Structure 1
Amino acid sequence: MVSLKDISTRCGVSVATVSKALNNHKDIAEATKENIRRVAKEMDYFPNSSARALKTNRTYNLGVLFVDEAQSGLTHEYFANVLDSFKQEAERNGYDMTFISKHTGSMNMSYYEHSKYRGVDGVVIACIRFNDPQVVELINGELPVVTIDHVFDNRTAIISDNVKGIKELITYVYEMGHRKIAYIHGANSSVTQNRVGSFYKTLGEFGITVPDEYVKSGIYHDPDTTAILTRELLELKDRPTCILFSDDFSCLGGINAIKEQGLRIPEDISIAGYDGITLSQVLVPKLTTLQQDTKTMGRSAAEKLIALIDNPKATIIERVVIPGVVLPGQSVYNLKGRNK
């Protein structure tokens, strides 16, 4: 393996000069830097991450804890997009990523133990049961942590503006003339609580009382459960004219249930999703949905986590709220137009 000393001998400079040149220090002349880099490349030199870790007491490795309830992994497009943006920003700053789990080979360990075992400099937590004792252990540990879509008092959080998002989506549906609006929401979490609260609050501001049977508790990213709950709504004597779904992927189950009963979207019943994933915009009809800003969320999570690692003494607990935008689509019928 080629060392810094080998390069210094070849270039006729000190090991310190080689190190500074490869790390782009300003006190080394550009011509010297270029020559050292050229020689390093010719000699097939690669920096050793273990050696850098010993020198800096950092691994430049970020842990990612991501376990969604439907066990969909990185096929979950919303979180896959968030984590891809996180990855890009992390790599731009010289960091690698390691996924954190409870199992490593034959060893079983907690999330915190695995994080320490892998030597990560910090952890981002996304889409998991945040009340899991192992998650709480990680939150209360010594590692820098940033959460996505969940708030802890002692940790920085990156959250989508779920309250405003639902309000804007319902406002759009209301302005299309709908008054009987149902909601199949996801499993209990702070995200769900904010969305459901905003659902009731917004409709209340419009003077609409929501029947209990119009609100169903489902599971995020689970079309099968959503299909069952959609059938229950369709069987109501006074069924809704529009159904909001927890997310765009779960919405597929609702669409199938609606079509099974020979109903047309949006002529017979309107629907709207949440997330704004690519799939929602290629469906026929195109799905009306709330598009979350996954790029900004992922980038912000990486920026905040790296800042915590770089300067822990200047830690400020923040709650970064990222707004989304309504994509109208063609899945919500204009009842006002029908009544003209």
Structure 2
Amino acid sequence: MKKENVTIYDIAKEANVSPATVSRVLTGNAKVRPQTTRKIVDVIEKYNFRPNSLARSLFHKQSKTIGFILPDINHPFFSTLVQSSEAHALELGYTTFLCNTRNNSENESKYLQSLVEKQVDGIIYLGGRINDTDTDQEYAEEMKTVMERIPVVFVNGQMNGVDAHIVRTDEESGIEKLVELLLNLNHKKIGFLGGKEGISSTDVKRNTFVKMMENKGISVNEDWVLGTGFSIESGEEVAGQLLNLKDRPTAVICANDFVAIGVIKVLTKFGLTVPDDVSVVGFDDIYLAQHFPPGITTVSQNYDHLGQTAINVLVNLINEKEAERETVIPTSLVLRDSCRIFSE
């Protein structure tokens, strides 16, 4: 037989089975004895009746696909992390589905169901409902139902009552590094800007900031702890609120680099210089942080390490191997030119 002319009937004849049995193996709609399945798959691979990867996946019950669910592909944190993760997944033989929920819980549910229907081997979950400090029990039950069928790895998030595998960066340590840096630069009047209350990443960063300041014997001025979101526009908004205060901080820690960019834009617009008048530091180390004047001091989330680890944990789960329940990826301080020594 010529490979390009092989039909399901040819496969059935050579494997000494009925065409219906071959069809059942191809669709996976009914049970076929393992030894019969193996024989059929061998013939399929011999004649390349389907791509070899598909033939093997039929036998091993794997689709060699992974789904990503994330809230906003436009945000550099998520897009950079997905690029790192996707590249590593491809090296391991997995292709990916990208599901951008646009910060909509209903879309999250639709994508979860869609990925189950597509029979992906596993799911990497970023942001959205896994970042809510208070877990919605309906969402938790939905997640547990999905995890009964497909392994799921949470990145930088968790859900109360859901026993998921988690890979996260050490955000607490990142904030501690920033506070230590500013204190060493003689700053005592430090604010925290950006993020939203009820979002776990914000709560972790703010709480760590307050705890660090208190441990150093420095009180936190609540007027300098402001947050309306994670965007450049939200950074502009909170910077405007700071400018209306008579007593202002000499340095601010921002929830992410987007907020830091917005803060610097507004401060500069109204005649203040960063870092001469106010020191500004960010978090995430997105691509723009390096290039937005004056160059933003920030904390790197170590995207390659984070993404590769998440994929490795998921692939281990897919292959029914042991995997760490929680893996913490270290952060690192990236020094640039947006902060300086404060002098009275």
> Quick one: which amino acid aligns to residue 210 of structure 1?
V
Could you state the TM-score of these two structures normalised by the residue count of structure 1? 0.78
Secondary structure of the 1:65 match is strand
> Which position in structure 2 is the counterpart of 1:194?
204
Could you state the TM-score of these two structures normalised by the residue count of structure 2? 0.77
Instruction: State which of 267, 286, 289 in structure 1 corresponds to 2:295.
Output: 286
> Which position in structure 1 is the counterpart of 2:215?
205
* Aligned: 1:55 with 2:54: no
Change (3 A) 1:54 1:252: same
Inter-partner Cα distance in structure 2 for 1:166 and 1:207 = 17
> Which position in structure 2 is the counterpart of 1:247?
256
* Aligned: 1:318 with 2:329: no
Deviation at 1:274, TM superposition (A): 0.6
Secondary structure of the 2:128 match is coil
In terms of mean alpha carbon deviation, does 226-235 or 93-102 score higher? 93-102
- Aligned CA-pair RMSD: 2.9
Inter-partner Cα distance in structure 2 for 1:63 and 1:282 = 32
Deviation at 1:228, TM superposition (A): 1.0
> Which position in structure 2 is the counterpart of 1:11?
none
> Quick one: which amino acid aligns to residue 52 of structure 1?
R
Unpaired runs of 5+ residues, structure 2, are: 7-13, 16-45
> Which position in structure 1 is the counterpart of 2:177?
168
Question: Could you tell me whether the CA contact under 8 Å between 1:154 and 1:317 is conserved in 2?
Answer: no
Question: Could you tell me whether the CA contact under 8 Å between 1:231 and 1:257 is conserved in 2?
Answer: yes
Change (3 A) 1:176 1:101: closer
Secondary structure of the 1:240 match is coil
Inter-partner Cα distance in structure 2 for 1:330 and 1:219 = 25
Inter-partner Cα distance in structure 2 for 1:218 and 1:298 = 28
Change (3 A) 1:300 1:236: same
> Which position in structure 2 is the counterpart of 1:138?
143
**Across the two proteins, how many residue pairs are aligned to each other?**
293
1:171-203 superposed Cα distances (whole Å, 9 cap, x missing partner): 001100100001113123222221111101111
Inter-partner Cα distance in structure 2 for 1:146 and 1:156 = 5
> Quick one: which amino acid aligns to residue 92 of structure 1?
E
| Structure with more contact order per residue of length (Cα contacts < 8 Å, sep ≥ 6) | 1
Deviation at 1:157, TM superposition (A): 0.7
Inter-partner Cα distance in structure 1 for 2:195 and 2:2 = 54
Question: Could you tell me whether the CA contact under 8 Å between 2:71 and 2:101 is conserved in 1?
Answer: no
* Aligned: 1:67 with 2:71: yes
Instruction: State which of 158, 168, 179 in structure 1 corresponds to 2:167.
Output: 158
Deviation at 1:145, TM superposition (A): 0.4
Inter-partner Cα distance in structure 2 for 1:101 and 1:269 = 36
Deviation at 1:151, TM superposition (A): 2.6
Change (3 A) 1:3 1:199: farther
Secondary structure of the 1:271 match is strand
Unpaired runs of 5+ residues, structure 1, are: 7-13, 16-39
1:1-340 residue pairs with structure 2 within 5 A? Answer: 3=3, 47=51, 49-68=53-72, 73=73, 75-100=74-99, 110-130=110-130, 131=135, 133-134=138-139, 137-141=142-146, 142=148, 143-152=150-159, 153-187=162-196, 188-220=198-230, 222-311=231-320, 314-316=321-323, 318-335=325-342, 338=343
1:68-120 superposed Cα distances (whole Å, 9 cap, x missing partner): 3xxxx1x32222221112112211111110124679xxx99633321211110
